[in-house]
Amino acid sequence: MSDLVVSTQGLTRRFKEKTAVSNLDLEIRQGQIYGFLGPNGCGKTTTMRMLTGLLTPSSGSVSVLGRPMPQYAEPLKNEIGYMTQIFSYYRDMTVLENLRFAAEIYGMPRRKSADRIDELLTTYDLTENANQLSGSMSGGQRQKLALAATVLHGPKLLFLDEPTSAVDPETRRSFWEQLFDLVDQGATMIVSTHFMDEAERCHKLAILEHGVKKADGSPRQLMEDLNATVIEVEGEGLRQVKHLLDDTPKVLSTAQVGARLRVLVDKSETEPMAMITSRLSDFSNVTMSVQRPNLEDVFVSATKGPAQ
């Protein structure tokens, strides 16, 4: 049996003259955490809404758990969990009331849902908050409640839209540990993010820009395949160095990181160090070194070139 959980061909969505998602081909396999990485407005939410059957594509096809979408949105409701970007539970209801309400929406039998809610309160460390109004909880606690409600009915496939944009790094770390626990229990998930550290945790990811997939693969593969050499410049006058390099052919980008300037030089330049050294010949107090690419380099390079 195929382990393909989600596949799309030529998936496109237009809103009047705006194309929010353009000709997107995806293959997402069982047990993967698949990331959509891209800036605000690149089409992450629109893609998720089409994959969950909430929005009809303008063209192209979508298959989710072996069924075409949006036609099978209703029968697949119990197999899918969708954690939207905005906290979509009732702030004037307690944690327990919200979870009971979600269980009713999923048509879960009362006995079964009571046991499941107890289990989730323990898993997500919400037992002490059970009778607290969700509106009075911290962002991190609300996020745990949202995750608990999303997995309440035991879905096989989870969609998490920018799940950690409102929480601190420590909460983000523990949230990701919980995601890997869910994967260990057999879930597949699609996570959208604009954080590089979050994208790096995914098994595979697609880099999106203006609704177009610019690159996809595992983070490691994307870094290995980077079509640029990364050079770091250290020393005096980095702002002037930056302005000079920004006007240099084959320099894809420059970005200052603390006391270093990170420079991406297109791979078509066969002697990148010699080229940069010669360009900076007037700067006597700088040193240069070639560095391993990181995901941000991949993102910058992918969004400079033509779409794949």
Ligand X SMILES: Nc1ncnc2c1ncn2[C@@H]1O[C@H](COP(=O)(O)OP(=O)(O)OP(=O)(O)O)[C@@H](O)[C@H]1O
Query: Looking at 34-42, 68-76, 138-146, 287-295, which segment touches ligand X (CB under 6 A)?
Result: 34-42
Count of residues that bind ligand X according to CB under 6 A: 13
User: What angle, 0 to 180 degrees and rounded to 10, lies between the N-to-C axes of helices 95-105 and 110-123?
Assistant: 130
Q: What would the x/- binding string for ligand X be over residues 193 to 232, using CB under 6 A?
A: ----------------------------------------
Of 77, 87, 78, 79, nearest to 146 by C-alpha is 87
Least Å from the CB of residue 218 to ligand X = 22
Side chain identity, residue 205: L
Cα gap 257→164, rounded to integer Å: 24
Decide: is 43 part of the binding site for ligand X (CB under 6 A).
Answer: yes
Decide: is 38 part of the binding site for ligand X (CB under 6 A).
Answer: yes
User: What angle, 0 to 180 degrees and rounded to 10, lies between the N-to-C axes of helices 139-151 and 169-184?
Assistant: 10
Decide: is 42 part of the binding site for ligand X (CB under 6 A).
Answer: yes
- Which of residues 28 and 233 has its CB atom nearest to ligand X in the complex? 28
Pairing type for strands 260-266 and 228-235 reads: antiparallel
- Which of residues 43 and 272 has its CB atom nearest to ligand X in the complex? 43
- Which of residues 23 and 30 has its CB atom nearest to ligand X in the complex? 23
- Which of residues 8 and 45 has its CB atom nearest to ligand X in the complex? 45
- Which of residues 10 and 107 has its CB atom nearest to ligand X in the complex? 10
* Interacting positions 122-181 with ligand X (CB under 6 A): 162
10 Å CB burial of residue 103 (0-12, 13-18, 19+) is buried
Of 9, 2, 4, nearest to 61 by C-alpha is 9
Query: Looking at 36-44, 102-110, 138-146, 149-157, which segment touches ligand X (CB under 6 A)?
Result: 36-44
**What six digits make up the tokens of 170?**
């420590």
The pair phi, psi for residue 226, each rounded to 5°, is -55, 130
User: What angle, 0 to 180 degrees and rounded to 10, lies between the N-to-C axes of helices 139-151 and 110-123?
Assistant: 140
Cα gap 13→28, rounded to integer Å: 20
- Which of residues 18 and 110 has its CB atom nearest to ligand X in the complex? 18
Decide: is 56 part of the binding site for ligand X (CB under 6 A).
Answer: no
* Interacting positions 75-104 with ligand X (CB under 6 A): 85
Instruction: Give the residues lining the site for ligand X (CB under 6 A).
Output: 15, 18, 20, 38, 40-46, 85, 162
